[in-house]
Each structure stands twice: as C-alpha cells, then as structure tokens.
Amino acid sequence: MSTYYPAMLKLTGSRCLVVGGGRVAERKIAGLLEAGADVVVVSPEVTEAIGAWEMSGRVTVLRKRYAGGEDEGASLVFACTDSRETNQQVHADATRLGKPVNVADRPDLCSFVVPAVWRRGPLLVAVSTSGTNPIASTRIRDRIEQAVGDHIDSFLGYAAEYRQRVIAQVHDAERRKRLLAELFSDEALDQVRAGRWEELKRRMEAVLDGGSQ
C-alpha cells in the first residue's frame, strides 16, 4: 500500500542541490529547471547537457567530490552519484538538517520520489508507482497523455476564463457546479482531444447567456 503524499511544489527561485552529474542527475535537473528552480550541482564530471546549462547560466556546477555542507540553503537535495557511500552520506547530511532528500539508488531512503511527468500549459500530470516501477509510471503517463491530447492546453485557458464568468454571474451553487461539470463531460473531453471544441464553446456560451441566477 502506498504511504506517499502527493503535492505540487513551488520551486521558483528555490535552491536545489544535485550531487552527481551523470544521466540520472541530468534528468532530475531538467525537471527542476522546468519548475524554475535555482540548481547547484556538485560533481567532478558532468554530462554534455549539464555542461551546456552551466554555460548558459542556468545551473551552477561545483566541480568537486561531495564533501558535506553544500546543501546549505537548499530546499531539496538529490543524491545521484554512482557511489552508494556518497549517496548515503548525502542522505544522512540532508536528514540531519531536516531537508527532503531523494536518493537515486535507494528508494527506501527517499523522503520523496520523482514521478513521471506530463506538462501541458497549466496541466501537470504526475504518475508514481510509489517507488516500485518507474517504467510503469512512464507508460501510464503516456497513456494519460494519449487519452487527454495536446489541445487541452488552450481549452483549459478558455475553461479558466469561463469559470470566472460563471462564478461572477451564477449565484446558485448547484447550477454553478452543473455548468462547470458540463464543461468537462466525457463528450466535451472527447471533442477537446479531437481539437474540435468550437461547438462545445458555442453551447457553453449560449447556456451562460441564456439567463442565469
């Protein structure tokens, strides 16, 4: 049974420490950069992509082995080296400071695990198998992406604006809920996936224009 608690973290401008500069570190850093985090990497060597992020000023790289103390000011810590001992040391240091820590080779030591992610505008889908099978997470994430489709982005923009109008104009709570549910009916989501939601939009506009209290 899963004992994890899902949450969307706001990391804009927050310092995150990544120890190690290999393939796994590169993947974790890519996700952190998408979230606007301020990434510091500690590793004697880094991949080409991490080197390129360093060149463009997107990450700071300290080219040295982890010594301890580098996690000062970090909100999240990632232990991604290929040294089991170093990863354990990073875990011990972060835990002592009460910092959340992810340990690439030890799911049992992770205070948080990283899910497989699909982002589309404001939509963020995150899938986890509670640390047991990352490939399953990616496959299930891909299936959700296929089922929802890329047009969801612009539709969510419209829907957020529609919702504000419903809140302002419709004072009956039950009717408000019904209208918003209709916007996301199975039929509506099928139309969105097919990229044909103009008709849905017309219908929803007509419902709102057609008198509402």
Ligand X SMILES: NC(=O)c1ccc[n+]([C@@H]2O[C@H](COP(=O)([O-])OP(=O)(O)OC[C@H]3O[C@@H](n4cnc5c(N)ncnc54)[C@H](O)[C@@H]3O)[C@@H](O)[C@H]2O)c1
| Contact residues for ligand PQ2, defined by CB under 6 A | 27-28, 31, 102, 104-105, 107, 110, 113-116, 128-131, 133-135, 137-138
Q: Smallest Cα–Cα separation from 17: which of 96, 84, 103?
A: 103
The CB-of-17 to ligand X minimum distance in angstroms stands at: 11
**CA–CA separation, 68 and 86 (whole Å):** 10
Q: Please tell me whether residue 178 binds ligand X under the rule CB under 6 A.
A: no
Which partner, ligand PQ2, ligand X, none, binds residue 191 by CB below 5 to 8 Å per kind? none
Q: Please tell me whether residue 94 binds ligand X under the rule CB under 6 A.
A: no
Q: Please tell me whether residue 25 binds ligand X under the rule CB under 6 A.
A: yes
Phi and psi at residue 79, in whole multiples of 5°? -100, 105
Query: From the list 104, 109, 116, 188, which residue makes contact with ligand X (rule: CB under 6 A)?
Result: 104
Which partner, ligand PQ2, ligand X, none, binds residue 31 by CB below 5 to 8 Å per kind? ligand PQ2
Handedness of CA 166, 211, 173, 148 (dihedral sign): negative
Q: Are 60 and 9 in contact, with CB atoms under 8 Å apart? A: no
Query: From the list 18, 20, 76, 116, which residue makes contact with ligand X (rule: CB under 6 A)?
Result: 20
List the x/- string, 136-175, binding to ligand X by CB under 6 A. Answer: ----------------------------------------
**CA–CA separation, 79 and 104 (whole Å):** 6
Which partner, ligand X, ligand PQ2, none, binds residue 113 by CB below 5 to 8 Å per kind? ligand PQ2
- From residue 4, give the alpha-carbon distance in Å to each of 15, 31, 54, 105, 110: 23, 20, 33, 18, 11
Residue 78, Cβ neighbours under 10 Å: how many? 30
The CB-of-138 to ligand X minimum distance in angstroms stands at: 11
